[in-house]
Amino acid sequence: MLKTDLAARLRGAFDDDRDADTFLLRLERYGDDLLQSLRAVYGEEADALLERLLEVMLHAFHARPADLRRLDEARLLRPDWLQAPEMVGYVAYTDRFAGTLKGVGERLDYLEGLGVGYLHLMPLLRPREGENDGGYAVADYRSVRPDLGTMDDLSALARGLRGRGISLVLDLVLNHVAREHEWGQKARAGDAKYRAYFHIFPDRAAPDAFEVTLPEVFPDFAPGNFTWDDEAGGWVWTTFNSYQWDLNWANPDVFLEFVDIILHLANRGVEVFRLDAIAFIWKRLGTTSQNQPEVHLLTRALRAAARIVAPAVAFKAEAIVAPADLIHYLGRGVHYGKVSDMAYHNSLMVQLWSSLASRNTRLFEEALRAFPPKPTSTTWGVYVRCHDDIGWAISDEDAARAGLSGPGHRHFLSDFYSGEFPGSFARGLVFQYNPETGDRRISGSAASLAGLEEALETGDPGRIDDAVRRLLLLHAVILGFGGMPLLYMGDELALLNDYAFEDVPEHAPDNRWVHRPRMDWALAQAVRAEEEGGTPHTPAARVNAGLRHLLRVRQEAPHLHASIESHVLPSPDGRVLLLRREHPLGTLVQAYNFSEDTVMLPSYVLREVLGDHAQDRLSGSVFSLDRPTVRLDPYRALWLTTSEVPV
C-alpha cells in the first residue's frame, strides 16, 4: 500500500516526526484493508477516492485532542477492552434519563455506582422536526438536538465520562438521512451532485422491479419502499419512512462524507459508534437489499480509516438479521475480525423471552448450537430489552429441530406477550401486525412482559415473587453468557409500561414508546435508601439489589471474558438451560431454571464437567455432585466452578 513517494509526501504534512511515524505506521497496518475494500466496491474510482480520504484523515489526525490521543495508545495496548468481564453497558435516552446532556453529567455517580463502563445515549444528533422515527431521521450529524444541549456539551460529557472510565456510545445512522438534511435539500433543489447521494427514479419502473423482492419494515404506517417527492420530481427510496431518504453508497462521495462525520464525532469524544441500519446500505435488484457483500467491504473500509486516525474508536453493528448473516458483521474469511467490533445478539434476547413463556429451553439450545463461532477479538452485545420492539426472529429450521412449528411458536409468543394467551403473565402491546404474514411484534418493558405489572394488579405475593425472579434470571443469563451486557434504562428499577405515551401526539402512533419511560429518580432514591436500611422488600428494590449483586460477581469472574464463547451443555431437563465456558483458569457451568417449578436436576451432567464438588459463584454455596440430584428453585441461576471444598 505505502509507496515510497506516498510515504514521503505524507511525511511532509507533519511538523512532528513522532506524529508522522504514528500516522504512517497505522497506515501501513490498516492501509491494505482500506484500499482493498475500496477497490472491491468502487473499482477504478478507489485510488482517486483514497487521495481525498487521506486529506480528510490527516486533518482529523492533526485536530485530535491530546487526551484522546493518549486513549488511542491505551486501546492499542489493550485491544480487548470491550471484552473484559467488568465492562457493562447502559442504554438510555438523554431526555428521559436526565433531561439534557448536562443533566446526564450530573448523574455520573449513579452510573459509576452500577459499574457502567459504556454509556449508549440514544439518538441525540439533530433530527428533523416533528415525526422523526425516535431520532433516527437525522437532519444534521454535526449538531445536537437543541433541547438536549450543544456539541460543546457533548464533548464536556464525553470528557466527564472518560474521567470515570466510561465510554460514550452514539448512534450513527448510515442507511438514510432526513429529507430535510442539507443533502436532501440540495437534491430537491436540483443539484446533480447531491441527487446522486440518493436513489431517485423518474417513474415506477425501477421501484416496481425492486419491490418484487423487498420486505416492508413498517407495513402499518409506512408501506412500500419508495415515496414520490414533488420537489425532487421522482420516486425516492425510503426503506423506513417517507421522510427518511436512503443514501446511495455506490457513490464514493457518500463514503467520504461518512468518514469525515465519524472522525469529527470521534474527536468530540465518541468512542463507540452504533452503526444503525447497517444491513440496508447496499441495494441490489432481485434481492432483499440487505446483507449484501458490499456492506461488509464498506464497514471494513470505514473501520480501517477510523483505526488509522482514532484507534480508540469501536464499531457496533445494528444488524437484526439471521445468525448466518449476522456473523458476517463481525467478520468471516478475509474480513475475520476486521468489520465491526461488536454486534447485537438479537437471537439470545428472543430466546430468553421464548423460554420464559414456554418454560422450555429446547429451542434455546437449538438456536445457540446453530450459531457460527465469532472472531475471538469481537464481542456480542447482549440484552434483555432495548428501545425497540421484539420481533420473533425464530427460524423454522431451529423450531423443527426442537419439535416445534416455527409459525405456530411465533404465533404463541405473540399471543402470550400481548396477554391473549390463557394464563399469560405478560402485559405487552402488538406492534406492526402484518396480515399477509401473520407476524406480530411486541412492545413492552421488561418488568411488564415478565409479569410484574400483572402481579401488582392482583396483589398476589407469590406472583410478585415470581416476576422478580424472572427479571433476575433474564439478567443473570445476559451477564453470564459472555459479551457486553447492555442494561436498558429503568430495568434496574423494574419500571413498568408507561401508557402515557398515548397522550403525546408525536408518540401516540408508535406504541414502542410504552417501554421508553422517563427515569424515576424518586424511585431510584427510595430504592437505595431501602437497600441501605436493610433487606429490600419492594419489587423495585429487590430487582435492583439482585442485579447489583450479579454485576459484582460478574466483575470478579475472569471466565466471562468475551473472547471465550458459551456452549450448550445438553440438559436432561427441558426446563433448564445449561451453558459451559472453557477458560484457561477453569470451566464455568451455568444452570438456569426457566420455570416456576422446583427442578431436581440429575447431578451427573454437572459432575462429568466439574468433578465431585462445585461452588456457585452467585450464592457462595458448595454443591456435592456425587449426590443424585441438584435442587434448582424456581427461576434460579447457578454459576458453577470446580471446588475442592467438600460439603
Distance CA(363)–CA(401), nearest Å, equals 8
C-alpha cell at 532: 441501605
Distance CA(406)–CA(605), nearest Å, equals 29
Please give the helix or strand (H or E) that residue 154 lies within, else none: helix 151-163
* Residue in 133, 318, 365, 573 annotated catalytic: 318
Distance CA(94)–CA(76), nearest Å, equals 30
Nearest Cα residue to 426 out of 470, 384, 461? 470
Extended strands (E) in 483-628: 484-488, 567-568, 576-583, 586-593, 599-602, 613-616, 622-624
Give the residues across from 91 on adjacent strands: 120, 488
Q: Count Cα neighbours of 449 within 13 Å in the Cβ-side half-sphere.
A: 33
Distance CA(553)–CA(313), nearest Å, equals 28
Cβ atoms 219, 430 nearer than 8 A: no
Between strands 379-383 and 342-344, the pairing is parallel
70: three-class secondary structure by DSSP: helix
Angle at CA 259, nearest 5°, toward 34 and 134? Answer: 130
Distance CA(326)–CA(318), nearest Å, equals 10
Cβ atoms 329, 322 nearer than 8 A: no
541: three-class secondary structure by DSSP: helix
Contacts with 262 (C-beta within 8 Å, 6 or more apart), sequence order: 172, 273, 302, 305, 306, 313
Distance CA(263)–CA(311), nearest Å, equals 11
The DSSP symbol for 264 reads H
Distance CA(537)–CA(454), nearest Å, equals 18
* Residue in 72, 133, 276, 498 annotated catalytic: 276
Distance CA(189)–CA(182), nearest Å, equals 10
Cβ atoms 75, 83 nearer than 8 A: no
C-alpha cell at 644: 475442592
Q: Count Cα neighbours of 625 within 13 Å in the Cβ-side half-sphere.
A: 21
Cβ atoms 160, 105 nearer than 8 A: yes
CA 538 to chain centre: 30
Report in angstroms the alpha-carbon separations of 166 from 159, 505, 646: 9, 35, 41
Count of residues in the chain: 647
**Is 276 noted as a catalytic residue in this protein?**
yes
- Helices and strands in the chain, H and E counts: 24, 25
Distance CA(123)–CA(138), nearest Å, equals 9
Catalytic machinery residues: 276, 318
